[in-house]
Amino acid sequence: MQGFNKYYSPDYFESDDYKKKSLNQYNGKNHGLGDRARKIKDGILITRFELPFNIWCNKCQNHIGMGVRYNAEKKKVGMYYSTPIYSFRCKCHLCDNWFEIRTDPQNTRYVVESGARQKNEEWDEVENGGIVLNRKEEGESGSDKDSFAQVEKQTTDRQIASSSKDRLEDLIEFSDSRNSDPFALSQKLRRKFRNEKAELIKHSSGDDQLRLKYSLPSNLRFVVENERDSKEIDEQTRLAQLSMESYQTDQRAKRIRTDAEIGSVKISNSRKINLRSQSAGSLSKSVQLSNLTDQILTNHRKFNDPFLSNNSRVSSNTNTLNPTSNRQQTDLDRQISIKPKEVVKGMVNLRADERLRFNQKVEPTESLSKLVCDYGSD
The pLDDT tens digits of the residues spanning 38-57 come to: 888 899 999 999 999 999 99
Comparison of pLDDT for 364 and 227, the residue scoring more? 227
User: CA neighbours within 13 Å on the CB side: how many for 25?
Assistant: 6
Mean predicted confidence (pLDDT) in 141-148: 59
Residue 64 to residue 51: CA distance in whole angstroms: 9
Q: CA–CA distance from 113 to each of 77, 98, 101, 102, 375 (Å)? A: 12, 11, 5, 6, 129
- Could you count the other beta carbons within 10 Å of the beta carbon of residue 75? 17
pLDDT at 125 (0 to 100) = 66
pLDDT at 281 over 60: no
- Provide the 8-state DSSP code for 52: S
Mean predicted confidence (pLDDT) in 155-166: 83
Task: Select the highest-mean-pLDDT range: 99-108, 148-157, 349-358.
Answer: 99-108
The answer to whether 68 and 50 have CB atoms below 8 angstroms apart is yes
pLDDT at 34 (0 to 100) = 78
pLDDT at 346 over 50: no
Write the DSSP assignment of 53-89 as a string of letters. Answer: S-EEETTT--EE-TT-EEEEEEEEEEEETTEEEEEEE
What is the share, in percent, of the chain residues with pLDDT greater than 70? 63
Comparison of pLDDT for 184 and 282, the residue scoring more? 184
pLDDT at 238 over 70: yes
pLDDT at 340 over 50: no
pLDDT at 143 (0 to 100) = 47
Residue 23 to residue 17: CA distance in whole angstroms: 9
Comparison of pLDDT for 342 and 232, the residue scoring more? 232
Mean predicted confidence (pLDDT) in 265-273: 44
The pLDDT tens digits of the residues spanning 91-102 come to: 999 999 999 999
Comparison of pLDDT for 224 and 272, the residue scoring more? 224
Mean predicted confidence (pLDDT) in 338-361: 46
pLDDT at 374 over 70: no
Split at pLDDT 50, 70, 90, the class of 133 is low
Q: Nearest-5° angle of CA 28, CA 30, CA 36?
A: 110
Residue 190 to residue 140: CA distance in whole angstroms: 62
pLDDT at 329 over 50: yes
pLDDT at 314 (0 to 100) = 44
The answer to whether 343 and 333 have CB atoms below 8 angstroms apart is no
Mean predicted confidence (pLDDT) in 117-135: 71
pTM greater than the 0.75 cutoff:
no
Mean predicted confidence (pLDDT) in 256-280: 53
pLDDT at 352 over 90: no
Domain ranges across the chain? 31-118, 180-222, 239-308, 331-372
Share of the chain residues as helix, strand and coil, in percent rounded to the nearest 5: 45, 15, 40
pLDDT at 361 over 50: no
Mean predicted confidence (pLDDT) in 165-180: 87
pLDDT at 30 over 80: no
